[in-house]
Amino acid sequence: MKSYAKKHYLLVLLAVITINFFLPRLMPGDPFLYLSVEEGEVAAAFSEEQIAQYKAYYGMDKPLYMQFYDYILKLLQGDLGYSIYYNTSVLEMILLRIPWTIFIVLCALFLSSFFGTLLGAISARLREKPADKFMYLFMVVFSEIPSFLLGIVFLFVLAAKLKWFPLSGGITIFAPHTSMLSYMGDLLHHAALPIITLTPAGLGNFYILARNSMLTVLSKDYINTAKAKGLKKWQILYKHALRNALPPIIARIFLSLGSLFGGAVLIENVFAYPGVGKLMREAVLKRDYVLIQGIFLTVAVTMLLMNWLADVIYKKLDPRVFR
Amino acid sequence: MKSETKGTAVTIGKNVAVIFLLLLSMILGLVGCTNRPSESGEIISGDAAGNENATAEEPVIIRLAGEDVGLPNPFRHTAGGAGVSKATLLYDTLLEKDENQDIPWLAKRWEMNEDGTSFTFFLHENALWHDGEPLTAEDVVFTFNYYKEHPPVSNSLTDGKKYIVTDTKAIDDHTVEITLNSYNNTYLSKIGSVLILPKHIWENVDDPTTFDGNGATVGSGPYKMEIYNPEQGAYRFVAFEQYYGLQPAVAAIEWVPVSDEVLAFDNEEIDLVMPTADLVSRYKESDEYIVEEVPAYRNSYRLMMNMETVPELCAVDLRKAIAYAVNRQEIIEKIGRGVGLISSMGYVPSSSPWYNSDIEQYDYNPEKAKALLEGRTYSFTLLTDNSAKSTKMAELIKISLDEVGIDVTVESVESKARDNALKTGTYELLLTHAGGMGGDPDYLRGIYGEKSTTIKGWSNERVNELAKAQAIERDETNRKEMLFELQKIIADEVPMVMLYSTVTYFVYRPEKYDGWMMIRYDHNQRCDFYKLSYVVRN
């Protein structure tokens, strides 16, 4: 059974690599085609010879199957290639940016799962009372607001008008930090808006999941037993009910990384936050095949890894799923 | 059984939380590492950073909106203005461009031989590289040889297939002679705009596109690079104190990441902004700002007509009818919010000294268009990119053409797809915004001449002849005559309909810095891309 799962993941990985290779090549236009200009910009005009030379340099003059073969071969050596637009190693570029993205995604995940679960539990406890109904409605509506929209509102109100937060970037640039503490503070200050923008979408999901999960558990016999023992209400809620309601929530933590990452792509572009999402947008706009592939592959592999982790942990948490 | 399950859930729940926190702190640390210049070696050209710019007065630091445009050396900056201009501040060229012409720069003067195929440049004797080494004629010789094997991103040295430089030799330490394969009116400008490399650094580099070692940004320009932070898109250039030429005007230039440029400018995070026409009025009212209005002479919206696949378009009367029928003033009013400049149908912009005003102007005249069509009707597809501006413009063109009996279907696609169609000729009518109208009018040869690939299915004997002849004509009066005739034929033939040039607004606070040079004679770029915007001029 286990080897079946492994095969499964391997198959998905192969599919990902293949799609990842062909998809950017199916887009119209190529990285050397600059025939029109943006406002106030100069078009970089390449001569036909230059283009031929570049294409040869990046192996793009070879037939597609040869390019694919080369791609796989290099991939096996851990080589993600060389960005056409930025003239830099793709791996290097991704490694520089991915910590930023992971940082805001994990913070948002922590906040949304923690508060979502907490509020969900409270809501379940107060079931059918006005507070529960209000919270339910609020969460459903709130979590449906697209995060980039929320981001723009936050940017204008909290950063531009009230000046509580910086307008952009991941850190105060060119400012020497005297202590680790001021450095950390600056990092968090810059990350705050992206994080609180990313949090609501997940918050609603965790809230609803936790609420449902808790409602199921609360109707179980052992809760009645606990009540009969004369335990306090909140003790029952947190010691007995919540702990048993946790497995699906923990699995969801890993599974929600995908959508959170998708949100981060948009948010990073709103706040000019230096993560992978901002890089991805640039790469797509510039038709930088090599870079697009590198980013997509990194993201896909991360997602697969998270799914696998979710699988493993879920099995350990809930023996009913597997023996 | 049940209690056991509970137990596992609890411990694993705790473990997950612990792992989570551990991961979080690790990542915080990691983010940290990538960002402290002193640790990660992001100071790429780093000698005693920054403390030599202490002057008597408060040193001026300009901040501009930044993005990652690569390592700013000739091989690794990104294509396009933002990348090129950064490399240009670090690396000097033999000549520089001001409002009117090429001016002496690294070469303090130059001579041309009899037949114009060889130039002798006399270099500044006290020019230094940022690492303190003296710059000599050897460096220039090395540069021209090196670029032949390793073309830089912005390559002006190939014309067609050929490398235009045939020989470079150092006459003495500060004199260099460059021989070219033939005479062309643009070649002096071309060799004058080559970024000169330090031989002592690049002579050992085999693949410059991957080189980022010591000295990868050492140039001889007025500024040297102190910090490059790729993931933030941030750069810090500081004044090069030992600079031989026009002195750097500010102590440092910093490019910082910006989410919204107007917000950042209002917050004084950046010192220059290019707002849209709608936003400009609020700056015009205040004394705090200077608003400059600069037409983008070099670029123009164009309506392309494919004469290769649509035989009807080969009839010059139809092309003329289209030119008369399109209401360009209305496009400017509605799309450009009233600001814009109608382009000349002879291609050369009205700001150029080579502009011929005595050609057909094609003022809006639907009656004349109808007369030219003699009651014939047509139906075409107009391909445009999917930006709001272009699609609206396409709709306006559709309405205008409809009035004279030309039925147009607008099709909008993603901009790269449109560009691809333009290149491969898979369109009937096509709307595009393109540049290539700056500086020397030799561009007419590339667009309308024999080897043109821009205009599909059109060719004119006399145009080919004149285009070739003007490139090598050394007498200015004769050349002007040729170029005037060229423009006249082009305007009469209307191979493409020139629409209008946009206007760019620049807003800055003069109190902070007012050294911006707004116009360069080749109209190439924006004021923040001009080198002369950052040096002290008389």
Q: What is the CATH topology of the domain spanning B14-88+220-290+514-534?
A: D-Maltodextrin-Binding Protein; domain 2 (3.40.190)
Q: Is A304's pLDDT higher than 90?
A: no
Cβ contacts of A156 on chain B, cutoff 8 Å: 263
Question: Which tens digits make up the pLDDT trace of B232-241?
Answer: 889 999 999 9
Rounded to whole angstroms, how far apart are CA atoms B230 and B236?
Answer: 12
Confidence of residue B322 (pLDDT cuts 50, 70, 90): very high
* CB atoms A316 and B296 under 8 Å: no
| The length of chain B, given as a count of residues | 538
Confidence of residue B144 (pLDDT cuts 50, 70, 90): very high
Question: Which tens digits make up the pLDDT trace of B7-32?
Answer: 444 444 455 455 555 555 555 555 54
Q: Which among A44, A57, A99 has CB closest to B31? A: A99
Q: What is the CATH topology of the domain spanning B295-503?
A: Dipeptide-binding Protein; domain 3 (3.10.105)
List the single range of A12-21, B32-41, B61-70, B217-226 with lowest mean pLDDT: B32-41
Rounded to whole angstroms, how far apart are CA atoms A229 and A289?
Answer: 65
Cβ contacts of A288 on chain B, cutoff 8 Å: none
Mean pLDDT of B448-460: 86
One CATH from 3.30.390.50, 3.90.76.10, 3.40.50.920, 3.30.1150.10 for B95-202: 3.90.76.10
Angle (nearest 5°) at CA B499 between B497 and B502: 155
Q: Which residues contact A261 (CB under 8 A, 6 or more apart)?
A: A101, A105, A277, A299, A302, A303
Helix (H, G, I), strand (E, B) or coil at A76: helix
Mean pLDDT of A224-249: 80
Distance between A141 CA and the closest CA of chain B, angstroms:
27
Confidence of residue B139 (pLDDT cuts 50, 70, 90): very high
pLDDT for position B415: 81
Distances (CA, A) of B232 to A226, B36, B77, B274: 55, 12, 16, 21
Size of interface A-B (CB pairs under 8 A): 221
Q: pTM surpassing 0.90?
A: no
Rounded to whole angstroms, how far apart are CA atoms B251 and B177?
Answer: 35
Question: Which tens digits make up the pLDDT trace of B479-506?
Answer: 999 999 999 999 999 999 999 998 889 9
Q: Is A25's pLDDT higher than 80?
A: no
Q: Is B332's pLDDT higher than 80?
A: yes
* CB atoms B9 and A247 under 8 Å: yes
Rounded to whole angstroms, how far apart are CA atoms B497 and A317?
Answer: 70
CATH 2.60.40.420 at A90-322, yes or no: no
What share of chain B in percent tops pLDDT 70?
A: 89
Q: Tell me where in chain B the CATH 3.90.76.10 domain(s) lie.
A: 95-202
pLDDT for position A115: 92
Question: Which tens digits make up the pLDDT trace of A105-153?
Answer: 999 999 999 999 889 888 888 888 888 888 888 888 888 888 888 888 8
Q: Which among A35, A85, A155 has CB closest to B432? A: A35
Q: Tell me where in chain B the CATH 3.10.105.10 domain(s) lie.
A: 295-503
Distance between A123 CA and the closest CA of chain B, angstroms:
21
pLDDT for position B22: 55
Q: Is A303's pLDDT higher than 60?
A: yes
B347: left (phi over 0), alpha (psi -120 to 50) or beta: left
Confidence of residue A323 (pLDDT cuts 50, 70, 90): very low
Cβ contacts of B6 on chain A, cutoff 8 Å: 243-244
Angle (nearest 5°) at CA B94 between B90 and B98: 85
- Which strands form B272-273's sheet, in the order they lie side by side? B272-273, B503-508, B290-295
Those of residues 107-146 in A touching chain B at CB distance below 8 A are 107, 110
Distances (CA, A) of A15 to A66, A308, A309: 18, 17, 20
Distance between A61 CA and the closest CA of chain B, angstroms:
17
Q: Give the H/E segment covering residue B349.
A: none
Interface test with A, best of B3, B68, B426 (most A CBs within 10 A): B68
* CB atoms B31 and A170 under 8 Å: yes
How does the average pLDDT of chain B come out, rounded? 86
Q: Do the strands B95-97 and B102-104 form a parallel or antiparallel pair, or are they unpaired? A: antiparallel
> Among positive and negative, which fits the CA dihedral A79, A80, A82, A86?
negative
Question: In the 8-state DSSP scheme, what is residue A228?
Answer: H
Q: Which among A33, A40, A167 has CB closest to B269? A: A167
**In this structure, what token pair is assigned to residue A77?**
């050596």
pLDDT for position B324: 96
Q: Tell me where in chain A the CATH 1.10.3720.10 domain(s) lie.
A: 90-322
Within an 8 Å CB–CB cutoff, is residue A54 touching chain B?
no
Q: Which among A35, A47, A287 has CB closest to B423? A: A35
pLDDT for position B47: 38
Q: Is B57's pLDDT higher than 90?
A: no
Instruction: Output A233 or B290, whichever has higher pLDDT.
Output: B290
Greatest mean pLDDT among A164-168, A209-213, A245-249, B142-146: B142-146
Q: Are B90 and B225 in contact (CB under 8 A)?
A: yes
Q: Is B98's pLDDT higher than 60?
A: yes
Q: Is B448's pLDDT higher than 80?
A: yes
pLDDT for position B23: 55
List the single range of A247-261, A266-280, B354-368, B446-460 with lowest mean pLDDT: A247-261
pLDDT for position A182: 83
pLDDT for position B46: 36
Q: Is B507's pLDDT higher than 70?
A: yes
Cβ contacts of A46 on chain B, cutoff 8 Å: 79
Q: Which among B75, B210, B434 has CB closest to A35? A: B434
- The alpha carbon of residue B68 and the mean position of all alpha carbons in its chain are separated, in whole angstroms, by 16
Q: Tell me where in chain B the CATH 3.40.190 domain(s) lie.
A: 14-88+220-290+514-534
Q: Are B334 and B395 in contact (CB under 8 A)?
A: no
Q: Which among B31, B259, B385 has CB closest to A103? A: B31
pLDDT for position A33: 65
Interface test with B, best of A27, A35, A46, A292 (most B CBs within 10 A): A35
* ipTM of the complex model: 0.79
Within an 8 Å CB–CB cutoff, is residue A36 touching chain B?
yes
